[in-house]
Amino acid sequence: MENIFLNTLLGKTCQRPPVWLMRQAGRVLPRYQELRAQYSFSELMATPELAAKVTLLPVEDLGVDAAILFSDILTIPVSMGMQLEWTERGPRFPHPLAKSSQPLNRLNIQADKLDHVYKAIDCIVEQSHVPLIGFCGAPLTTLCYMLQGISSKATFPEAKKFFYEHRAETEKLIDAVTELSIEYATQQIEHGIDAFQLFESHAGLIPTELYKEVFLPAVCRITDAVRSAGIPLIFFPKGLGSGLQLITPDVCDFVSIDWQTPLVEARKMVHPEVGLQGNFDPHLLFASKEEIEQAIESYKPFFQQHSHWIVNLGHGVLADTPFENVKYFVNRIKETNWTK
């Protein structure tokens, strides 16, 4: 497939950077809102035909250069036997593992609960030739939800406490999550994804040295499995900060940078053979079109020196972002002359 997104991932120099957005398939799209009026969030994810439709909406309505599978990182905990409730305040596990005396015994792997994801991929591949990004959550982020139970406590205090109090059990849980994540990623590849992103949305929750010692080896097991199958991989360690110096070609092909770290500084820390993705502030899309254009222009010198770059936000598109602004942002990226 000849495509600017895949060419950039493979290290080829292109006339402009490709653009796609985390959470691009969601509430900012009017046609998604129409679907949500008919179906619940969980119904959209669990029904392959609907998940495929939502996945492709941003390609049709925004013009992004790649689609990312419409799913959720919490599919792994659910397939490990955990009960998940979708509430108005976000996902909730009513029986978090941190409150269990024997958390490992609570797990019951049910891999068939992932089948709807593979069927959705089949539907997408049948309908479209746009590059499709598969994904899953990295072990630290996945375990934070499994241990804490809810996402409203953004610092996950009970999960962090568990890591320190129960090191041996933590390592066993990491291993269980990693093994299933590898199976999940491998199956996504077999069903036809073109690239893979590993989301470590909470990399900044713990000290870098602890992350390096306990969690990074598990990350590398997942990334090795994906890349050994010939699929390029993007790693998104949000909040890793100076820990970006740990990101070498052994970890990933591209690393996605959050908005707290300037791309120029990230480029100094990350191994030169690893490409960068990001890192526009999601709140920029609330600004005027003139300010959005000025921000894009400010990135041109970076691209002219470092073409190994994919445009994205430093995190996901915010729920109440004006659709017109998102579309304008994507169009300006594609229409800008990046070589002058």
Contact status, residue 5 vs residue 327, Cβ threshold 8 Å = no
Rg for the chain, CA atoms, rounded:
19
Question: What is the distance between the alpha carbons of residues 312 and 17, in angstroms, rounded to a whole number?
Answer: 10
Catalytic site residue from 32, 61, 65, 145: 145
Catalytic site residue from 27, 31, 92, 332: 27
Q: Which residues of 2-24 are buried (b: 16+ CB within 10 A; e: fewer)?
A: ebbbbebbeeeebebbbbbbbbb
Question: What is the distance between the alpha carbons of residues 71 and 77, in angstroms, rounded to a whole number?
Answer: 13
Distance of CA 127 to the CA centre of its chain: 23
Torsion of CA 28, 132, 125, 320, to 10 degrees: -10
106 is catalytic: no
What residue type is 4 in one-letter code?
Answer: I
Catalytic site residue from 16, 32, 65, 72: 72
* Closest to 206 (Cα-Cα) out of 260, 153, 163: 163
Catalytic site residue from 23, 92, 106, 221: 23
Contact status, residue 42 vs residue 86, Cβ threshold 8 Å = yes
Listed in sequence order, the residues at least 6 apart from 319 whose beta carbon sits closer than 8 Å to its beta carbon are: 26, 27, 28
Give the torsion sign (CA, 56, 57, 63, 67): negative
Catalytic site residues?
23, 27, 36, 72, 145
